[in-house]
Structure 1
Amino acid sequence: MKHIRIILCLTLLLAAASAAARVKYTVNDAWRFTKGSPYNAFLPAADDSAWEVVNIPHTWNAEDAVDDVPGFYRGPAWYRKRIVLPADAASKQVYLCFEGANQVVRLYVNGHYAGKHTGGYTRFVFDITKYIVPGGENLFAAEVDNAHDPDIPPLSADFTFFGGIYRDVSLLMTDKVHVAPTDFASPGVYLSTPEVTAERATVEVRTLVANDGPETARVRIEHRIVAPDGREAARTEDTAEIAAGSVAEQLRRGITIASPRLWDIDEPNLYRVLTRIVAEDGRVLDEVSNPLGLRWFSFDPDKGFSLNGRPRKLVGTCRHQDYLGRGWALPDEMHERDVRLIKEMGGNFLRVSHYPQDPVVMEMCDRLGIVTSVEIPVVNAVTESDGFLENSVRMVREMIRQDFNHPSVMIWAYMNETLLRPPYTDEARTKEYYKAIEHVARTLEETVRSEDPSRYTMIAFHNAPERYAAANLTQIPMIQGWNLYQGWYEKDITGFERILDRLHAQYPDKVLIVTEYGADVDPRLHSFSPEQFDFSQEYGLVYNRHYLSEMQKRSFIAGSSLWNLNAFYSEPRADVVPHVNNKGVTGLDRELKDTYLFYKTVLNRTPQLVIGNRGWQNRSGADDGTGRCTQPVPVFTNQSSVTLTLNGRKVGTKRPEGGVAMFDVPFADGENRLVARAGALTDVLTVGFRLAQASPERFTGLNVMLGSPRYFDDREAGLAWIPERPYTPGSWGYVGGEALRRSGAGWLGSASDILGTKNDPVFQTQRVGIESFRADVPDGTYSVYLYWAELDAARQREALAYNLGADGAQQQYTGRRFDVSVNGRKVLENFSIAAEVGFSRAMVRKVDVIVRDGKGLRVDFGRIEGEPVLNAIRIYRNH
């Protein structure tokens, strides 16, 4: 009984000791919010009753950054929240912790100014102890401002700078003696592994202990290393005296772990280091936990990347923190899912770009075995000012100290495409700018290496090697990253492999990583004659198969991170989905594109089989005269052969090439059941197919995009749009004219943002100089929908720098008027699209017509000024 009482007393003491340790919880809910700068918003007495109530994560640009009005709100906004703190906060140190807010934050507590943070992507902490009211209500007021500031990177970029407190806010309460959270919002404990082999590992722990009490504190600092299986691997303790009002650094070297379980891509073993601050009377004053991964790695200019002595090819993605309708305001679980998507794809590398991201991202990379590179947002350009350099250096320190303990991090990066568009044309002034940008790069390189000599450094360049060489940037980092888009922004896709070989020959002592490559893919668009810049699923597959194959052939390419895991918002963009960069292998809503399925097939060792084009919801095609329409279907598998059947009948058996087998499938009108079999694997896909028929004997409906070889899946209306074709008697098609091609580039259609529609691809192509559209349909009553947008430009728009000159010039508008007649009846006279609705705006005219005497349906275009055009036509039979 005596022993039981002793055990009970010890349990109670331990419980009391734990209760004295730190408490941290989020305060995300029900903040009051308003844009602008209301008078005295920082004061408790200010009236915020009419303000909007929002939950954090939050952004104020979720709507205006994706509407048809150019630009989005960049300026100040205010958040206010009242929080009742416990009475025992009087004996605590109290902090308010932000995981991310864009981009300048000023915090007020109960009307008192508590501090400022500059930069939109790193974490920051305010000590609010002296401003709080313990046991009472406290008013937190934060001004957040995302206005452009030339001293704060990024200055410009191919992504939207969403304003707001878009990551968690937490309240942290600690004992007066505690592990300091104020060293650039780091965990206050830094773990290093100066020696790791398969036989043994040594660990060093540097701890920052703060004493905010009035007297010197005599404490014991304990470190307990817990192995992945939960057993204790090592334990140390040291005593220290911490002077009042100071932060002391305690360094513990020589902690040895025998036969370590290594952190690796395939087996990401994680240790935990539990650090305790214990008072002389045995009370636990503070306790924190940090991840520890035991591994060694290297990069070689010829052999690439090795982890724990084993060569590994790094293949993965970059990632932006966007989601459909949310901007950057994502909860933790959505960040988690994104990292799982990379792992499930077979990826082993994440370039966290172009800025540090939510802490959950790094935690997931640690847990799943994904090697990472993290970078600060010095993108596109620099400002030649002390302020810009100071902010950049501080961002580097924040990034490194906050993510220092993550074993997945092996590269620190600090610049991306900074010479994409040099701001000067004068040669002498350009040389000065090059010197300034070199100074920034060398300062950041020195800062990184002094902060963390154990990891590698990297700058990402774009395909203008001569510029970066002229600025001496190519020799500065340990790793050269190259963002390459041959076959997308540049015509010849085979130029990709040539530049890889050229760069290796030119820089034989430098490690090379392909930090970006990609093609925009809209999963609503398909083409069976895919081409550069057509945004189709099929060209995206052609592009990615080529790039991966060429990189896998070259051992000197240490790794690659395709651009991008997900589609993301970029407000100035037009393209087929305005305000969105669609290069993600998943969509803004994380729909898996065929490019994702391809990588999942070829990168995974486990057997894979999946029929492609799964998201093609409204599929159609023209009758080939047999009552069927034959179209190609990709099947992705890493097995030796695959057999495909259609409605129980064998289509064929093929050996996949590079993970893909293409089958020509004769679709019939109605339900088509595809079954793929490869070894023990089976995949099934049911396709609802609409056979487009227009002949004197039969009509099922026509939705045709003019000037286009593409198919378009209108998911909102459930319409299937098909490509144009020339008219032949007894069928349907256009007469005369040419498909619109962008001058200079020769790309299909226009890249204009078509106002007034979400179906931009329907309006971005057209047949110029069309004479007629004919359909030899049966007698009856029909509705003919004529689709137009004036794609010539009233004025030339500024080219986007990140399109690398690939915008393609619009034709200058010089006037366009024409007549439109349907079956000989003039329905539009002296018609001008621009006069009716303006430029790049969708317009649809519906015309009712009675077809009789077997004459079919005919739409004629009579030229008056300029060339007649038609973007699309829909023919619907009423009865």
Structure 2
Amino acid sequence: MKKYLLCALVFLMGTNAILAQTSQRLINNWEYVKGDLGGIWEAVRPVKEGNPEASPVWTKVSLPHCFNALDAVDPDVNYYQGPGWYRTNLNVDNPYQTGRTLLHFEGAGQKTTVYIYNTKVAEHVGGYDEWTADLTDAIEAFKKLPVFKSQFKGKIPLSIRCDNTRDLEMIPSNLSDFNVYGGLYRYVNLIYTPKLYVDKVFAETHTDLKAKSANLNVKIRLADPAGSIGATINCELIDPAGKSVYRYTTKISAGAGDAQLFKTTIKAPKLWSPTTPAMYTLVTSLNNGGETSVKKEKIGFRNFEFVKKGPFMLNGQRLLLQGTHRHEDHAGVAAAMTEDMIRTEMTMMKEMGVNFIRLGHYQQSRIVLDLCDSLGIMVWEEIPWCRGGLGGPIYQEQAKRMLVNMVEQHYNHPGVIIWGLGNENDWPGDFPEFDQEKIRAFMKELNDLSHKLDPGRMTAIRRCDFARDIVDVYSPSIWAGWYRGNYTEYKAVSKEEFDKSDRFLHVEWGGDSHARRHAENPDNALSLIKVGGGADERAGDASLYGGAARVSKDGDWSESYINNLIDWHLKEQETMPWLSGSAFWPFKDFSTPIRPENPVPYVNQKGVVERDFTKKESFYVFQSYWSKTPMAHIYGHSWPVRWGDEGAERMVKVYSNCQEAELFVNGKSYGIRKRNSQDFPAAGLRWQIPMFKGKYTIKVIARSGKTVVTDEITQEYQTEKWGKPATLVLNKVSEENGVATIEVKALDNKNILCLDAINLVEFMLTGDGKLIDNQGTSSGSRKVQLYNGRAIIKVMTQGGSSVAAVKSAGFKTAFLDLR
């Protein structure tokens, strides 16, 4: 029996596969070298025992793997940009007599070259689109060499060179606010196909709400079409309940690559929506000389419209797009997120109440798109033409090629409603010339190409005002309360921008928050801000120095402020009937090379969760407006110590979507509040509590109909006034399963905790243990700003003894003996 099960259909991740044939994810048994080799021979030449200088040192890794798993957020180095090599030996056993053996890349960064033994078989430029390398001929040639059996014992040596070296003639620009990662950071698959197989299926759907029907137009693309005459194609459409609703059979009479297959009408289709993401299955099988190629696609029927000078409509009803953004980035792995990690992230978004996502700023993994379909999340997906200006012919050809690949590879996903053509293309810097007319001309070329490839979806760009008239949907720059203006200006500036565009959608808004930092008076910086000067982001606004007053520079970066900003935006959006929707930037903190001086160095901290999925308080603000599942959350789960005068009233806020909530402080009820979304802040669910020095247990009981939900926190109230920080004190606060948590506190000369201290501290360790750092989180960075006078980090003790230390400019270094 063949090693791989030969069946009608084997799917990567159980969903839309480019080549739905016998396939295997190549996860284990890889080796990696950071840096370049002298040539492919160094990857495959035999290494004799006792002669280690004949080969570089290879490290065992598993896929997905990113060059920059840790150095992307290392506070002391620039992240690595250059070549890296991977190698493995394949067991190849193709069950098809005249079949093809393919290597399928779901994405690799940024330039990739593939070798079988010392023969180059494929190259690809672009870090985000899928592609395949045909290994068949090179494998057959290698099998004839003596080393096939002598050195490689019947296995096939596969070597892959990835390279993310800076290159002005590639997109995205290195001026972008995210890392241009390197490596095999998405899955790589070994696939066996017959010589003739179904390469792609394009299922075009049009839903007629009045007729209560949907038209389905199916086209196919065959590989090796010259040998297709006489082959039989069978198609079957299966509804969400598993019932077959349409079948089609035909014989191929002439060789063709792309061909019209069939058109049909589906009566009373089950419509796809965020609340009921109904998915149909289209199975296309091709039989040729007894060998069968099968491809299975998930499709959906829905009707959407961005109303001219109006809102967004889905299936005939107005729907407010409640969105966020995603970067492919995670603590400890960078871009190399596993399928389980991606599923966790997307499920958290749905839990928060998201029904829309912009995938910034590049084509993302098929796993992401499949989850959007199944969870009911609509998608704006875009090519990585991001900042820098416009390059030459090579640059432009790559952009067009990536647009074609993105549209063709994600054509059948019902969640996709927008193809994005660019981001911040008004941002110069990569080239001596910055010509607005040339950028407009190229944007027009991309727009026409997108509509030719897919007439049924919209095109869009963000922040390039001089090209706003070219695309179908436009998003200007509006950062009310962060880069410009006050958040209370949000509705007014949005209406001004709405009036300038036929179809307006607001993507990217919000602001940074240093997780675990809180404030008693978070809006203080707004008194410095000029109102009425606009709310867009302009050159230099992201800098922490110079220029006009702005919250991004002069604010406290507390979770408290960002909660207020988000709360205001969401309550206003409920009173903007003309608004199609918005997308908060972004869902999760992510690494970036252009923000080394942030509280967590090299991290864009605008997410509602940290880089390791730790929820910030802002997650629950969104949930209180967007989620339908009853919830209640007391603000301050990561705020251990509040402060103020003895007996001063302090606001306790509860974020909840329930109709009413009752607050208890140390067992005493402080009354019931009714929820009113327009009663800012916290939709009226707030209480003024007189506080005295000591500990407080705060509990809320919220009710929605017969459903009751609760939440509880414990806080300490400090009344002692502190002076200037004078001493750092380092202590171990816990240890579990060989992992110790250590905490530094900044005290004044009377040993009082300085609750407004934001000093940058650096953790160090010597001995047997290991710091868990370079995570890009508030609790996983060896250099980090204090949050309310403290900071924590974890240490793997590794069963030994270590000495931890923490230093900061102007302080004596503090030490801690860990035994």
Match of 2:437 in 1: 435
Equivalents in 1 of 2:652, 2:8: separation in Å? 64
Equivalents in 2 of 1:765, 1:87: separation in Å? 62
Equivalents in 1 of 2:720, 2:6: separation in Å? 80
Match of 1:698 in 2: none
Equivalents in 2 of 1:733, 1:58: separation in Å? 42
Q: 1:299 to 1:692 in 2, by over 3 A?
A: closer
Equivalents in 1 of 2:481, 2:228: separation in Å? 66
Equivalents in 2 of 1:329, 1:122: separation in Å? 15
1:694, CA displacement in angstroms?
5.7
Q: TM-score normalized by structure 1? A: 0.74
Match of 2:277 in 1: 268
Match of 1:202 in 2: 215
Q: Does 1:476 align with 2:470?
A: yes
Q: 1:142 to 1:764 in 2, by over 3 A?
A: farther
Q: Deviations over 1:263-317 (max 9, x none)?
A: 112111100000000236xx45111100110111111133211111111110110
Q: Deviations over 1:681-738 (max 9, x none)?
A: 545545444454769xxxxxx79769xxxxxx9994346779x9xx9xx99799xxxx
Tell me which of 317, 321, 324 is aligned to 1:310: 317
Q: Deviations over 1:745-768 (max 9, x none)?
A: xxx989x897977463339999xx
Which letter does structure 2 place at the counterpart of 1:153? I
Q: Deviations over 1:218-273 (max 9, x none)?
A: 11111100000000010111110465xxx533312322211111111211110000
Match of 2:45 in 1: 45
Equivalents in 1 of 2:207, 2:268: separation in Å? 13
Q: Is the 8 A contact 1:694 1:732 kept in 2?
A: yes
Tell me which of 151, 174, 191 is aligned to 2:193: 174
Q: Does 1:569 align with 2:591?
A: yes
1:56, CA displacement in angstroms?
0.8
Please show how residues 186-265 of structure 1 align to structure 2 within 5 Å.
188-197=200-209, 199-211=212-224, 217-241=229-253, 243=255, 248-265=257-274
Deviates more, 1:395-404 or 1:483-492: 483-492
Please show how residues 677-692 of structure 1 align to structure 2 within 5 Å.
677-679=702-704, 680-692=706-718
Please show how residues 44-443 of structure 1 align to structure 2 within 5 Å.
44-45=44-45, 47=47, 50-86=57-93, 88=95, 91-133=98-140, 136-155=154-173, 156-180=175-199, 188-197=200-209, 199-211=212-224, 217-241=229-253, 243=255, 248-279=257-288, 283=290, 285-421=292-428, 430=434, 433-443=435-445
Tell me which of 573, 581, 599 is aligned to 2:622: 599
Match of 2:50 in 1: none
Equivalents in 2 of 1:668, 1:409: separation in Å? 54
Which letter does structure 2 place at the counterpart of 1:268? P
Deviates more, 1:64-73 or 1:654-663: 654-663
Please show how residues 582-731 of structure 1 align to structure 2 within 5 Å.
582-616=605-639, 619-622=640-643, 624-625=645-646, 631-658=650-677, 659-660=682-683, 661-665=685-689, 666=691, 669-670=694-695, 672-679=697-704, 680-692=706-718, 716-718=741-743
Q: Does 1:524 align with 2:519?
A: no
Which letter does structure 1 place at the counterpart of 2:218? V
Q: Percent identity?
A: 24
Equivalents in 2 of 1:16, 1:522: separation in Å? 52
Q: Is the 8 A contact 2:763 2:783 kept in 1?
A: no
Which letter does structure 2 place at the counterpart of 1:482? P
Which letter does structure 2 place at the counterpart of 1:260? P
Equivalents in 2 of 1:49, 1:675: separation in Å? 61
Equivalents in 1 of 2:241, 2:57: separation in Å? 54
Answer with 1 or 2: which has the greater Rg.
Answer: 1
1:370, CA displacement in angstroms?
1.0
Equivalents in 1 of 2:247, 2:368: separation in Å? 29
Q: Is the 8 A contact 1:668 1:689 kept in 2?
A: no
Equivalents in 2 of 1:21, 1:418: separation in Å? 37
Paired positions, count: 705
Q: CA RMSD in A?
A: 3.5
Q: 1:265 to 1:414 in 2, by over 3 A?
A: same
SS state at 1:116 partner: strand
Match of 1:770 in 2: none
SS state at 1:237 partner: strand
Q: 1:435 to 1:622 in 2, by over 3 A?
A: closer
SS state at 2:246 partner: strand
Structure possessing the higher relative contact order (Cα contacts under 8 Å, 6 or more residues apart): 2
Tell me which of 498, 501, 506 is aligned to 1:504: 498
Equivalents in 2 of 1:542, 1:763: separation in Å? 18
1:160, CA displacement in angstroms?
1.5
Q: 1:690 to 1:499 in 2, by over 3 A?
A: closer
Q: Deviations over 1:190-240 (max 9, x none)?
A: 000145336221211111122389x66411111100000000010111110
Q: Does 1:581 align with 2:593?
A: no
Q: Is the 8 A contact 2:379 2:415 kept in 1?
A: yes
Equivalents in 2 of 1:424, 1:382: separation in Å? 7
Equivalents in 2 of 1:762, 1:423: separation in Å? 36
Deviates more, 1:295-304 or 1:148-157: 295-304
SS state at 2:418 partner: strand
Which letter does structure 2 place at the counterpart of 1:534? D
Q: TM-score normalized by structure 2? A: 0.79
SS state at 1:644 partner: strand
Q: Is the 8 A contact 1:79 1:141 kept in 2?
A: yes
Q: Deviations over 1:93-139 (max 9, x none)?
A: 11100011110001111221111111111111111111114793111
Q: Deviations over 1:579-621 (max 9, x none)?
A: 11111111111122221111111112343322232233xx124
Q: Is the 8 A contact 1:763 1:788 kept in 2?
A: no
What runs of 5+ residues in structure 2 fail to find an aligned partner?
A: 11-18, 48-54, 149-153, 524-550, 727-732, 735-739, 765-780, 791-804
Q: 1:140 to 1:299 in 2, by over 3 A?
A: same
1:176, CA displacement in angstroms?
1.2
What runs of 5+ residues in structure 1 fail to find an aligned partner?
A: 1-13, 181-187, 463-467, 696-701, 707-712, 741-747, 767-784, 790-832, 834-842, 848-879
Q: 1:644 to 1:262 in 2, by over 3 A?
A: same
Equivalents in 2 of 1:501, 1:217: separation in Å? 59
Which letter does structure 1 place at the counterpart of 2:44? P
Q: Is the 8 A contact 1:754 1:764 kept in 2?
A: no
Q: Does 1:36 align with 2:35?
A: yes
Q: 1:651 to 1:667 in 2, by over 3 A?
A: farther
1:654, CA displacement in angstroms?
2.1
Equivalents in 2 of 1:641, 1:688: separation in Å? 22
Which letter does structure 1 place at the counterpart of 2:167? D
SS state at 1:389 partner: helix
SS state at 2:257 partner: strand
